[in-house]
Amino acid sequence: HAPNCFLIYESGTLGAKPDVLPLSIGDGVLAEHADSVVSVPEVFNYWLQAGRVDVGFLGAAQIDRFGNINTTVVGPYESPKVRFPGAGGAPEIAASAKEVMVILRQTPRAFVERLAFVTSVGYGQGGGARGRLGYQGSGPTAIITDLGILRPDPETREFTLVSLHQGATVEQAKEATGWDLRVAQELDTTERPTGEELQILRDLRARTEASRKGAGSS
């Protein structure tokens, strides 16, 4: 799909070529065949904040209609119901990458009306709020879920359902969203993955599972 893709992880690996899915950004498999391993400050200062990262990929514990992300806490910060791993490099990626894609499962617990904590800014309160913050990156351009694809409205920046995966319905997407989800007038249907793409993903999963079983038995 993207043969010239150059993988950068905030842990310092440039040109990472993992053969299995890494457990985290600090997994040694990322450094094993990387072109170079540099310091974390260099990744942020020279690569990310200088505008050299074209696409950032983020997950989320919670996300709102304007693509703002929470990966910090649910409930009061001082005594939360749930404490998540935290920000990591996500706020800087959200601020400085030329565009951001967010990938997560669509559920009412994740797609919320109001975030308990704003860890990474998408479009703030919508409209021109992001521009007033002075962030150089254009912000999140897509939220990809297990039900479909959402993109921001050009004016309001509210995320709108623009494509449904085959088998999913608008009703399912609305029920899985904690706000009144907007739906595009001309709703697309996401193309099915090809047999080759599915086989590549299955082989990757099989290699990853085999690798972890091997590590656990050593």
- Tell me the two tokens of residue 176: 């899985």
Q: Which of 151, 164, 51 has its CA nearest to residue 101? A: 151
Q: Is the dihedral of CA 160, 162, 168, 169 positive or negative?
A: positive
209 is catalytic: no
Burial class (CB in 10 A: 0-12, 13-18, 19+), 21: middle
The catalytic residue among 10, 32, 78, 155 is 10
> 104 vs 29, 57, 111, 194, CA distance in Å?
24, 11, 10, 22
Contact 110, 61 (CB under 8 A): yes
Tell me the catalytic residues: 10
